[in-house]
Amino acid sequence: MIEYSKLQHKKVLVLGLAKSGVKAAELLHELGAFVTVNDSKPFDENPSAQGLLEMGITVICGRHPEDLLDEGFELIVKNPGIPYSNPIIADAISRQLPVITEVELAYLVSEAPIIGITGTNGKTTTTTLVYEMLKNGERQPLIAGNIGTVACGVAATATTENVIVTELSSFQLMGTIEFKPKIAILTNLYDAHLDYHGTFEEYVKAKFAITKNQDENDWLIYNAGQEVVQQFAQQSKAKKVPFSSEGRTEEGISADETTVYWLGEPIFERNNIALPGKHNLENVLAAVAACIIYGCDQSKMIEVLSTFSGVRHRTQFVREWDGRKFYNDSKATNCLATKVALDAFKQPIVLLAGGLDRGHSFEELRDSMKNVKAVVAFGQTGERFIEFAKSCGIENTVNADNVEDAVSKAADISEIGDVVLLSPACASWDQYPNFEFRGDLFIEHVMKL
């Protein structure tokens, strides 16, 4: 960890705990700041706050006092999920106090260079691929960020022998000031999180923070297939590496039907890539570009690409059973994600879908239902999804009680050569605590077939 002294003896407020708040408070304390933590969960029910108090950190729990900022804080570190409309955050901004997320702290103390990955879709897959391909390189990779490991906690122990591969959300990036990754990757940009950002323009602005401080010594890898991303990239001062899945190009990394190219020269055949679908090809191109920049051995990259079956719950290959291939895409909690999954396959699909009924239409899926031969529907939206499937000309539809029942019924109605795909297009909360639990049940019952 870099000996960072600028926060020593400064009064810092950490707003919201969870994993990121705890790690931020611990790091700030180690850096010599006078730390106060404020969390809505009552102290008696808050073991994280209790642990911080034992370290000598001031803890205010169970409420958010209106006069909290009168304590003279010089910096606010907020949980990424707390909106900027929060009264304390709004008050801090009106007082012109800097408001950051723990990702900024990670950058300030890290001895290791950072590869930052953002975008609307594909972040986790791209992050995981980069991490796996760099494992046998000169620098040992560490994985961090929105993927589940708090970035500032990783950065506090990283050395110059490491590289930190970091998945970054718009919420995290919005709270950065000096953050400057050595390599930035932007996978794509679609309408998302507008309830938080207000407009698509504000969402894009938050994403741009990944490259706003980069210079000619840094790299920006970006999706050349989206005009909004190209416009975004042109504002960056970094060296630009476009990726394209639409055919061979002379710039950056690209792919046609058979081959992947670097600067227009073939580097390996597409049949080395195990992950299905155009969206995953784009993730692979972005990840490979980052690893080429870091001097990763080509044979090691191919080894990973040929065996990588997907991130858990994201079009994850589970197993082949009796000539059918089963895929877990439980992370698909909206129609756009399910559309991407459906478009990834050319084989006949038995689709398992349904879940929490938020009243949304399934019309966005219509053009992608052409390869769907049968639907097994469950959850609150089960009946509505079956009606939609029949309107698409799909007559083979089955009601199931839940995901477990759906696996059994899908096995019965599927045939050799089919893909059996769990891609619900709905949240899980009507029957399950989260999409991970739903996906794990799917895997468990597929393995029991």
Q: What is the 3-state secondary structure (H, E, C) of 143-182?
A: EEECCCCCHHHHHHHCCCCEEEEEECCHHHHHCCCCCCCC
Q: Shortest CA distance to 208 belongs to which of 231, 191, 227? A: 231
- Residue 163 has φ and ψ, to the nearest 5°, of -135, 135
Tokens of 332: 């698909």
CB atoms within 10 A of CB 109: 18
Task: Give burial (CB, 10 Å; 0-12/13-18/19+) of 58.
Answer: middle
Ligand-binding site membership of 119 (annotated): yes
Amino acid at 201: E
Ligand-binding site membership of 124 (annotated): yes
Tokens of 204: 């894009």
376 forms beta bridges with 352, 398
Going along 175-232, which residue ranges are E strands? 183-186, 219-223
**Interatomic CA distance for residues 237 and 253, integer angstroms:** 19
Long-range contacts of 380-386 (CB under 8 A, 24+ apart): 380/354, 380/355, 380/356, 380/426, 380/430, 381/353, 381/354, 381/355, 381/356, 381/357, 381/426, 382/354, 384/357, 385/353, 385/354, 385/425
Order of strands, sheet of 253-255, starting from the edge strand that comes earlier in the sequence:
140-145, 162-167, 114-118, 183-186, 219-223, 239-244, 253-255, 259-262, 265-269
Rounded to the nearest angstrom, the gap between the alpha carbon of residue 142 and the centroid of all alpha carbons in its chain is 16
Tokens of 97: 């106090």
**Interatomic CA distance for residues 13 and 34, integer angstroms:** 9
Say if strands 162-167 and 114-118 run parallel, antiparallel, or are unpaired: parallel
Ligand-binding site membership of 122 (annotated): yes
Ligand-binding site membership of 310 (annotated): no
Ligand-binding site membership of 120 (annotated): yes
Tokens of 218: 């840094």
The sign of the dihedral angle between the CA atoms of 217, 221, 224, 228 is: negative
Tokens of 406: 């759906």
Which residue positions form the known binding site for ATP? Answer: 119-125
Which residue positions form the known binding site? Answer: 119-125
